[in-house]
């Protein structure tokens, strides 16, 4: 309002001066331009007196006073705003300081500085890629399973491993495709109703008579004598038990191959390799000349259609089914979900540190790490990713523990990949998963109140240890 008034006054003054000068010039045109200095002074005095009579002097004086007052007011307001901002900044820093100190304490206590897993994971991927290339060249004319590119899964590949750097195990899925003349058919295992579901991989022969090589033998249309004479053995006679793919036989076959072919792999010049005992996977310990070592586990898998759900040869710790039973695994979909979150989250997001901290806290408690991981995945879709900044680590840890407590109290924690409407589009699930009813991971607690009470008591102790012992 003041600025508009000043603009109006200036316009009025300019107009007044213009009118006055025009009138003065019209009078002076009738006069002579010659005169003495005294006459000039008198003329200016007359002009000033006339201006005073018309209020021009007072208008100019008033305008200057208003301008000075406006400048003083603006300066005062700027100082107030600056002081307010400085005060808010100091208060914010004072508020953040205790929290940042606590985050530092938590980081040291729970070793939240996650080892640099990505660089070593890349080394593992390159090594296994070279190893599989040797395998493909060696068995290209045979009828063993066709090994596909490895897929990193598990906490080490997702970036939140709780293990020390030298104990980290890099788990890699090795998808299997049927060789020429064979097909895979997935069948539910009628003898086992477990979670995760178990299935069997039936191997069937397929006609190859119409193939690109007309002289190749067909398992369906050539006699057993011809096949034996040419030393051609189908997959059914090598790595199957009955008509079903056998996980133990595949693991033994691949372990034997790794031992014999290691010297051909380029990385053999930098690492010494030792195959560790394992019934249904291939575990390797790789050692450098400096003495540093790390572990790799190759788990054989069969993909369900074109989805991110696989069948795994590796049993869980609680289950050890027959060697022809393959357990449904969501590890690939989980790894894909965490990659999606890392791409969408702000820089230095704390979601992996939160998961690492809570997982370290739950170690040895009897509470399920997989349940914790499921809870975190749900919260990553419920809480905006912009709220997972590093300075909010303690808030998010509190959210995770409280969410887990609510799930225990209600004895309900929904599986992340069944009937979840918040699933990112990048993750491909079988149609049955999309249409399925949510699956309760805490169903066993709903049927066992004593186990529920014990789990809540354990969580109470963990939360007390987390919040009141620092």
DSSP, residue by residue, 244-308: EE-HHHHHHHHHHHHHHHGGGSGGGGTEEEEEEP-SSEEEEEEEETTS-EEEEEEEEEEE-TTSS
Residue 214 predicted with pLDDT over 60: no
Longest Cα separation, the chain: 141
Backbone angles phi, psi at 314, to 5 degrees: -85, 120
Residue 372 predicted with pLDDT over 50: yes
CATH 3.30.460.90 fits 115-329, yes or no: yes
DSSP string, 424-470: -TTS---HHHHHSPPPBTTHHHHT-HHHHHHHHHHHHHHHHHHHH--
Q: Whole-number mean pLDDT of the chain?
A: 80
pLDDT, mean of residues 178-199:
84
Distance CA 203, CA 182 (A): 7
pLDDT tens for each residue of 380-420? 999 999 999 988 888 999 999 999 999 999 999 999 999 88
Assign 3-state DSSP to the chain and report helix, strand, coil percentages, each to 5. Answer: 55, 15, 30
Tell me what pLDDT residue 291 has.
Answer: 82
Instruction: Report percent pLDDT > 90 for the chain.
Output: 46
Tell me what pLDDT residue 30 has.
Answer: 44
> Do 384 and 396 touch, CB atoms closer than 8 A?
no
pLDDT, mean of residues 444-455:
94
Give the helix/strand (H/E) hosting 184. Answer: strand 182-188
Distance CA 317, CA 324 (A): 17
> Do 163 and 169 touch, CB atoms closer than 8 A?
yes
pLDDT tens for each residue of 146-174? 999 999 999 999 989 888 777 889 999 99
Tell me what pLDDT residue 73 has.
Answer: 63
> Do 158 and 338 touch, CB atoms closer than 8 A?
yes
Q: What confidence category does residue 289 fall into, taking pLDDT thresholds of 50, 70 and 90?
A: confident
Tell me what pLDDT residue 231 has.
Answer: 57
Q: What confidence category does residue 370 fall into, taking pLDDT thresholds of 50, 70 and 90?
A: very high
Tell me what pLDDT residue 206 has.
Answer: 86
pLDDT, mean of residues 281-300:
91
Tell me what pLDDT residue 109 has.
Answer: 58
Tell me what pLDDT residue 212 has.
Answer: 59
> Do 156 and 193 touch, CB atoms closer than 8 A?
no
> Do 173 and 332 touch, CB atoms closer than 8 A?
yes
> Do 246 and 240 touch, CB atoms closer than 8 A?
yes
Tell me what pLDDT residue 86 has.
Answer: 44
Structure-token pair, residue 71: 């400048």
Distance CA 272, CA 134 (A): 18
Residue 446 predicted with pLDDT over 90: yes
In sign, the C-alpha dihedral spanning 371, 372, 377, 383 is positive
445-448 long-range CB contacts below 8 Å, 24 or more apart?
445/408, 445/411, 446/411, 446/412
Give the domain ranges of the chain.
Answer: 115-329, 330-470
pLDDT, mean of residues 62-71:
63
Backbone angles phi, psi at 329, to 5 degrees: -125, 140
The more confidently predicted of residues 343 and 207 is 343
pLDDT, mean of residues 83-97:
44
> Do 422 and 381 touch, CB atoms closer than 8 A?
yes
Q: Worst-scoring range by mean pLDDT, 138-147, 251-260, 272-281?
A: 138-147
pTM reported for the whole predicted model: 0.75
The more confidently predicted of residues 356 and 192 is 356
CATH class of 330-470: mainly alpha
Tokens 């070593």, residue located: 120
């Amino acid at each position: 309002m003041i600025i508009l008034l000043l603009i109006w006054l200036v316009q009025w003054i300019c107009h007044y001066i213009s009118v006055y000068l025009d009138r003065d010039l019209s009078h002076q045109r009738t006069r002579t331009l010659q005169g003495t200095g005294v006459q000039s002074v008198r003329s200016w005095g007359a002009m000033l007196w006339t201006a005073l009579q018309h209020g021009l002097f007072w208008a100019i004086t008033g305008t200057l006073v208003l301008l000075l007052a406006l400048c003083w007011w603006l300066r005062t307001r700027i100082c107030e705003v600056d002081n307010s901002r400085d005060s808010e900044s100091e208060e914010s820093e004072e508020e953040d300081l205790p929290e940042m100190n606590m985050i530092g304490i938590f980081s040291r206590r729970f070793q939240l500085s996650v080892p640099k897993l990505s660089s070593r994971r890349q080394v593992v991927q390159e090594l296994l890629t070279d190893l599989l290339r040797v395998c493909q060249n060696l068995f290209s004319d045979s009828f063993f399973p066709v090994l596909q590119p490895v897929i990193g899964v598990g906490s080490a590949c997702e970036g939140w491993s709780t293990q020390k750097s030298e104990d980290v195990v890099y788990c890699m899925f090795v998808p299997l495709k049927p060789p020429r003349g064979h097909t895979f058919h997935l069948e539910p295992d009628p003898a086992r109703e477990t979670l995760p579901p178990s299935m069997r991989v039936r191997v069937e022969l397929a006609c190859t008579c119409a193939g690109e090589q007309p002289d190749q033998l067909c398992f369906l249309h050539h006699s057993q004598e011809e096949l034996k004479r040419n030393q051609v053995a189908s997959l059914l006679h090598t790595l199957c038990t009955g008509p079903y793919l056998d996980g133990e036989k595949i693991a033994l076959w691949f372990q034997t191959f790794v031992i014999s072919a290691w010297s051909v792999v380029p990385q053999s010049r930098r690492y010494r390799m030792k195959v560790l005992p394992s019934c249904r996977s291939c575990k390797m310990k790789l050692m450098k000349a400096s003495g540093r070592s790390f572990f790799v586990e190759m788990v054989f898998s069969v993909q369900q259609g074109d989805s991110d759900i696989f069948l795994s040869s590796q049993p869980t710790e609680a289950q050890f089914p027959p060697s022809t039973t393959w357990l449904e695994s969501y590890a690939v979909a989980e790894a894909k979900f965490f990659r999606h979150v890392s791409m969408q989250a702000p820089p230095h997001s704390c979601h992996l540190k939160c998961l690492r901290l809570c997982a370290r806290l739950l170690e040895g408690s009897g509470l399920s790490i997989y349940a914790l991981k499921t809870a975190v995945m749900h919260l990553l879709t419920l809480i905006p990713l912009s709220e997972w900044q590093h300075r909010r680590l303690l808030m998010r840890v509190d959210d995770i523990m409280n969410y887990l407590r609510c799930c225990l109290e209600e004895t309900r924690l929904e599986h992340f990949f069944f009937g979840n409407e918040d699933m990112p589009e990048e993750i491909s699930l079988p149609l049955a998963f999309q249409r399925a009813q949510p699956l309760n991971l805490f169903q066993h607690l709903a049927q066992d109140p004593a186990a529920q009470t014990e789990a809540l008591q354990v969580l109470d102790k963990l939360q007390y240890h987390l919040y009141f012992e620092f």
